[in-house]
């Protein structure tokens, strides 16, 4: 089989077992004579897949009973607008910690709806670190605080989520969902586009405290209403059935290999291998981010000049190491090492980094 190691930031690598299972079942799902993606989303067969995925999310992330688990099309970007449309008004305010490109986009959308306030901005420091909790002065009257737990482009990650006291914390976990447990004492809502750590693109996983769902506006178009999605078990309209199916398969895979404890072990091992390769390169590879804010999902680094970086990307590609170019807005290199990236993939990359440095360093 000609599988390569795909370090793309998203859509991104999926467990090969998941792809194989899907391809085995694609044409004729469980001897039903048709594909799951050709079936009614109101039928029994689809419902098992759909409800099964929701049950697995609850189990793996230990989601308490007073939270709703919802699937919504439109990815994380729709959530940037949908959250303020549901929870913010022209005369109420929300706090934003702008740690990078993605938190900034959420802020920009919220600003159209209500009084969005930046309480910390890493732009002047080129988004190289996560602030400490005492750098954040929350507004008492904020209806929520928005953070992005892992900045996919800038390669920084909250090591611990902040405690925002009585103000609901809303977290964009698109690129580190299912890579770490969630402290439900701190988090009132999270959302994540599925194409980083769960499934193909086409959907966001939303987990939201029931009390917050209760506060969400109801005088807005139906699709934007969290209460409708929650009350209809994410079947208010036709869900993206293929993406839900793949989410189900990925969660089964995750559970089978040992759940979050095993994922965390692999995650830390992979991240340590890459950061060690950078730190031990005598300055040939350099990390632009602060050590205590380093992402375990998206590892970014630079090389002495852009020409070398391009050569690195091209040579790596030839050896089956794909998707290593940094985001166009920041340049450099980036290796996305999501849950599905095997340890061997990172091992192969690190060996390539050593060889490249010996040859061109
Ligand atoms: C990819 C990403 C998004 C955007 O997700 P879409 O599904 O493309 O809308 C938002 N936030 C973070 C942290 C991301 O990594």
Whether 7 is covered by a domain: the verdict is: no
Domain span holding position 284: 260-360
- Is residue 34 included in any domain, yes or no? yes
CA-based end-to-end distance of the chain: 34
Q: How many C-alpha atoms does 320 have within 13 Å on its Cβ side?
A: 11
The per-residue b/e assignment along 1-14, b for 16 or more CB within 10 angstroms, e otherwise, is: eeeebbbbbbebbb
Does residue 4 fall inside a structural domain? no
Helix (H) or strand (E) holding 150: strand 150-151
Q: Among the three residues 240, 256, 272, which one is the final residue of a domain in this structure? A: 256
Question: Do you know the residue count of the chain?
Answer: 361
Residue with tokens 């969400």: 216
CB of 309 within 6 A of ligand 1: the answer is no
Set 95, 109, 172, 227: catalytic member: 172
Of 256, 287, 304, the position where a domain reaches its end is: 256
> Quick one: which atom of ligand 1 is closest to the CA of 151?
13
| From 175, 198, 337, mutation site for ligand 1 pocket: most ligand atoms within 8 A of C-beta | 175
Q: Are residues 209 and 310 in the same domain?
A: no
Nearest CA owner, ligand 1 atom 2: 174
Q: Is the CB of 175 under 6 A from ligand 1?
A: yes
Residue 187 and residue 269 share a domain:
no
Assigned domain for 1 exists: no
- pTM for this one? 0.98
Nearest CA residue ID for atom 12, ligand 1 = 174
CB of 76 closer than 6 angstroms to any ligand 1 atom: yes
Average pLDDT, the chain: 97
Cβ–ligand 1 contact at 295 (below 6 Å) = no
Same domain assignment for residues 49 and 98 = yes
Active site residue 158: no
With a 6 A CB cut-off, is 77 part of the ligand 1 pocket?
yes
Dihedrals φ, ψ of 14, to 5°? -120, 155
**What domain count does the chain have?**
2
Beta bridge partners of 68: 208
At 317-360, the pLDDT tens digits run 999 999 999 999 999 999 999 999 999 999 999 999 999 999 99
Same-domain status, 98 and 176: yes
Spatial contact of 328 and 316, defined as CB atoms under 8 Å apart: no
Low-confidence ranges of the chain (pLDDT < 50): none
| Residue 10 counted as domain residue | no
| Last-in-domain residue among 256, 284, 315 | 256
Let me know if 211 is exposed, middle or buried by CB neighbors in 10 A (0-12, 13-18, 19+): exposed
At 75, which CATH number? 3.40.640.10
The first and second tokens of residue 125, run together, are: 């420091």
């Amino acid at each position: 089989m000609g599988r390569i190691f795909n370090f793309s930031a998203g859509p991104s690598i999926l467990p090969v077992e998941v792809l194989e299972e899907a391809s085995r079942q694609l044409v004729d799902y469980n001897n039903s004579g048709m594909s799951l993606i050709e079936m009614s989303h109101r039928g029994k067969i689809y419902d098992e897949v759909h409800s099964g995925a929701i049950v697995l999310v609850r189990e793996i992330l230990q989601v308490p009973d007073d939270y709703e688990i919802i699937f919504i099309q439109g990815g994380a970007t729709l959530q940037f607008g949908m959250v303020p449309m549901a929870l913010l008004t022209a005369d109420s305010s929300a706090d934003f910690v702008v740690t990078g490109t993605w938190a900034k986009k959420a802020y920009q959308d919220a600003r159209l709806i209500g009084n969005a306030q930046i309480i910390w901005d890493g732009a002047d420091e080129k988004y190289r670190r996560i602030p400490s909790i005492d750098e954040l002065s929350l507004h008492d009257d904020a209806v929520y605080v928005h953070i992005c737990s892992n900045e996919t482009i800038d390669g920084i990650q909250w090591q611990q989520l902040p405690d925002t006291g009585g103000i609901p914390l809303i977290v964009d976990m698109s690129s580190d969902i299912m890579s770490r447990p969630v402290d439900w004492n701190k988090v009132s809502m999270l959302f994540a586009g599925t194409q980083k750590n769960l499934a193909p693109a086409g959907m966001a996983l939303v987990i939201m405290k029931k009390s917050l769902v209760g506060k969400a506006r109801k005088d807005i178009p139906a699709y934007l209403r969290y209460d409708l999605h929650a009350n209809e078990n994410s079947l208010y309209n036709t869900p993206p059935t293929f993406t839900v199916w793949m989410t189900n398969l990925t969660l089964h895979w995750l559970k089978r290999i040992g759940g979050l404890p095993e994922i965390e072990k692999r995650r830390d091992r992979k991240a340590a291998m890459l950061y060690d390769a950078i730190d031990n390169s005598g300055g040939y590879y350099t990390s632009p981010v602060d050590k205590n804010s380093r992402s375990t999902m998206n590892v970014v680094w630079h090389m002495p000049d852009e020409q070398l970086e391009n050569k690195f990307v091209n040579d790596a590609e030839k050896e089956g190491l794909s998707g290593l170019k940094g985001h166009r807005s920041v340049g450099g290199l980036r290796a996305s090492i999501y849950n599905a990236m095997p340890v061997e993939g990172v091992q192969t990359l690190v060996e390539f980094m050593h060889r490249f440095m010996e040859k061109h360093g």
